[in-house]
Structure 1
Amino acid sequence: MTTIARAAARAAGVLLVFSVTLTATLAYTYYLAQPNIKSNEQDVRRKLVAQTLPEASFNNDLLSNQLSLSPDTLLGTDKPSLAWQARLNNVPVAVVLEATAPDGYSGKIELLIGINTDGKLTGVRVVSHKETPGLGDYIETAKSKWIYNFNGKSNSQPDDNGWKVKKDGGQFDYMAGATITPRAVIKAVHHALQYVNKHHATLFANQPGVKA
């Protein structure tokens, strides 16, 4: 083997050892960080879920009262989703659902929707979306109060005709030049109310955790 070949082989060996060592170090660091990452994710989710419910309206750990829901067109889901049952002194008082508005302007809009035992909305929050900046801002609580318009609404208040933007003859405001986003969210929330009405007994059962 020539001197050049030996030098190249030596350099390749050093690079291989370095790569293996770096990969192992990163993997070990990720492994050590996993518990903190999962804990932080749980805290973020817990806070976001709780935002859909009135303060002090429940006193259980929502994430410990979790239900697994089968895919359903009323929720806009094509795979299993989750719901959380809110309890006050161990009595079911509300449920928070994962739902999807599949027909946003730029794709799916992921939602959390809180509904109490009377079928009234306690809150709606957008978890994620890809709507155009500016046009989709008003579905975010940090940029607009629009999403609070759902509070107190129900499957019958307003009636089916009211569950539209005002441009379409409904009761909900919208931003001029941007009706696709609110239409998608309004329809998704209305469908979620219909889902709860259909599965009320299961969602508010004293033994959460079963599939609806």
Structure 2
Amino acid sequence: MQTSSTAAGDLFGAHHPLAGAVTRLGEQAVVLRGFALAHVDALWPALRAVLAQAPFRHMATPGGQRMSVPLTNCGRLGWTSGPGGYRYTARDPDSGQPWPALPEPFLHLAGSAAAAAGFAGFAPDACLVNRYRPGTRLALHQDRNERDFGQPIVSVSLGVPAVFLWGGPRRADRALRVPLWHGDVAVWGGVDRLRFHGVAPIPAATHPLTGAERINLTLRRAG
């Protein structure tokens, strides 16, 4: 992993310690440092509108365990979990209504970040929104419920910092620990598309926008 660096700054405010740098995780995987900062003024109200239609909820794993990280979705398809397994659905299982449409600011950011990472023409049809609070985590996993693995993943970090776990093609492979700050956008695809990844337990911290929470937007082409 090669990381460009600058002097450290206030991790919780508008200043980003590595803004404009690129952290390369693999042959076709990068973190675009602070890439989303210029988009936050449009992203945040759009996200609030999504949550008004489809609030966060705790889903259950196929084995019946309650997920610690609440989630919601927007787009033509939404990622869900339950006794039937992990899958995408066109309707919110809680309301029976279609998921909220993908806001234009989400689409614009996803397309711009993907292009900057070498994946021109990316047009997501699904956005999974996760809300992390102190102590919550996401175990190593692959994103493999999508139909076309030729499309990249775009993951946007908002709020308190986190440590991204970037693994290999096998779950047992040792994972790199990659710090993520507010405004960072991770993009991976191609030969790195099915790498295992996760999030280490979130530390206790605060951010002016999100309070004690980290919000993650994961944009995919699912259909």
- Give the number of the structure whose residues are more often helix, by fraction: 1
Please identify the structure whose Cα radius of gyration is greater.
1
Larger RCO (alpha carbons 8 Å, 6+ apart)? 2
Q: Normalization by structure 2: what TM-score?
A: 0.24
Report the structure, 1 or 2, having the larger strand content. 2
